[in-house]
């Protein structure tokens, strides 16, 4: 059953225009009596029935609320140093399916790609569209967003917004550090916010790591293998999913 994110607070009856209406009418060719899931911006999710649909709008009424929680108990934000090619799109899509709460992209010292403001705006629109489609496909009850930051200083300023900040650091993996991620997940309470920072293909410089640590971030290894920049975020989200969804079920 199709799922649509609605940018308004919950109400038992709703009239939709724009993209949701177009998709229901032109793509799915729905008609009165068909049912869909609607997710409002207060994270209320309902099963709703189309009561009327025409070329201008679609009207729906609630049938029942979705009571099963599909979100992780902690909000995990992934911050990635600009990677090459379409790797950021892969991270955004797959990590959304795995339950990521938000995304940040920033220019690290070793980032090869350079996107000006215009290119960033275009890329951000595309990435948030990919995230929305992934959230709908995976039946999320929260719609993540991706934000571009101008530099690492802006990233450091956000640290105070989180309960814990981790740096996925390959040198920690090489040295066999494997406890920090598990310990962090164990200590976080329901509703806590976690930021995990990932470097681009060239990794982080010692200077960058020191700056992050001075601001309160902790080094974190991700197992004994060295992971690609697009693999590491998915490792973290998979580990969090196992810990919260399965191990502590």
For the chain, helix, strand, coil in percent to 5 are 35, 25, 40
Confidence label for 165 from pLDDT (cuts 50, 70 and 90):
very high
How many degrees, rounded to 5, is the angle at CA 208 between CA 206 and CA 214? 100
Count of CB atoms within 10 A of residue 20's CB?
A: 20
Set out the domains of the chain in order of their start, with CATH numbers. 3-65 (2.40.240.20), 75-247 (3.40.1280.10)
For residue 22, the Cα-to-chain-centroid distance in whole angstroms is 25
Give the pTM: 0.93
Q: What is the 8-class DSSP label of residue 191? A: T
**C-alpha span between 244 and 223 (Å, rounded):** 18
Task: Indicate whether 201 pLDDT > 90.
Answer: yes
Encode pLDDT of 83-118 as tens digits: 999 999 999 999 999 999 999 999 999 999 888 888
């Amino acid at each position: 059953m199709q799922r649509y994110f609605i940018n308004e607070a919950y109400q038992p009856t709703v009239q939709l225009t724009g993209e949701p209406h177009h998709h229901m009418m032109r793509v799915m060719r729905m008609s009165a009596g068909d049912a869909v899931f609607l997710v409002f911006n207060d994270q209320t999710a309902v099963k709703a029935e189309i009561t009327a649909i025409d070329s201008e709008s679609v009207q729906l009424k609630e049938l029942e609320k979705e009571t099963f929680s599909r979100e992780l108990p902690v909000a995990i934000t992934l911050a990635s140093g600009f990677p090459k090619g379409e790797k950021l799109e892969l991270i955004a899509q797959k990590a959304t399916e795995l339950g990521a709460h938000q995304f940040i992209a920033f220019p690290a010292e070793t980032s090869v790609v350079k996107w000006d403001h215009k290119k960033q705006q275009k890329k951000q629109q595309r990435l948030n569209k990919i995230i929305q489609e992934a959230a709908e496909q995976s039946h999320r009850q929260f719609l993540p967003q991706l934000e571009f930051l101008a530099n690492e200083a802006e990233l450091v300023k956000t640290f105070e917004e989180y309960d814990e900040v981790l740096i996925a650091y390959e040198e920690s993996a090489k040295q066999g550090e494997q406890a920090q991620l598990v310990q962090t997940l164990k200590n976080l309470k329901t509703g806590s916010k976690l930021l995990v920072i990932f470097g681009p293909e060239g990794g982080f410089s010692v200077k960058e790591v020191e700056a992050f640590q001075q601001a309160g971030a902790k080094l974190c290894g991700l197992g004994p293998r060295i992971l690609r920049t697009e693999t590491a975020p998915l490792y973290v989200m998979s580990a969090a999913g196992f810990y919260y969804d399965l191990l502590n079920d």
